[in-house]
Chain A
């Protein structure tokens, strides 16, 4: 059975979708990501879709769900490399992706994730500091 590989890169997970994606593969990916996040306590997900030629409403929903679920599990998601024709099609299809962070390529995606994670760590530390002085 097909499966999309999830690579661990420090505290990030890197997922590159290289094949055409269909419903059952998308659902499997969503479950695999949730399990891998828990296993490695990862703080960020980089979803590279630069080789994906078609994203329909179902796949769009899977991507939205990946971001929502990872958010609940204390991880940020960045989607990288959406093809221009795919982006225009998604908008005309009426699919909204309000909570998705995007980057133009993997390099920028990693930078963005690291920035977000460092910022969140700082907020955590400040919170902790305030509690300590109480």
Chain B
């Protein structure tokens, strides 16, 4: 696996949220992902970024262009040092929410990408990794 490009933004407020989301879109355009895949990864990132602001008190987003087995892909990693997720299985169920939202964020984001990873430790933080490959 070869790292071609990496960008990082600290997320503390709505403005950072927009910049982070914009950067995902920008790098998706740089590797010429299809319109659909670009929309999916940007929307999935939007869901995770919002979770990060609400539950994680902000954090950092790392966006990477990666090459593996002659394929180009976009990886988005969102890390926070928030309260963590007590029950990951429950959090990935559609409709589960602790803040009156629709509960689509995590399961929806998972549905939109090729690879999804969720790591969380109570009171230590959460890391979500999203990955899409160029077809």
Contact between chains at B102 and A57 (CB < 8 Å): yes
Please give me the residue from chain A that is nearest to B21 by CB atom: A54
Q: Which residues of A contact B107 (CB under 8 A)?
A: 94
Count class of interface residues, chain B: 20 to 34
How far, in whole Å, are A83 and B38 apart by their CA atoms in the complex?
13
Interface residues of A in 30-52 (CB under 8 A from B): none
Interface of B is mostly: helix
For residue B35, CB closer than 8 A to chain A, the reply is yes
Count class of interface residues, chain A: 20 to 34
Q: Which residues of B contact A61 (CB under 8 A)?
A: 101-102
Interface of A is mostly: helix
For residue A93, CB closer than 8 A to chain B, the reply is yes
For residue A99, CB closer than 8 A to chain B, the reply is no
Q: Tell me the A residues contacting B by CB distance below 8 Å.
A: 20, 22-24, 53-58, 60-61, 83-86, 88-89, 92-95
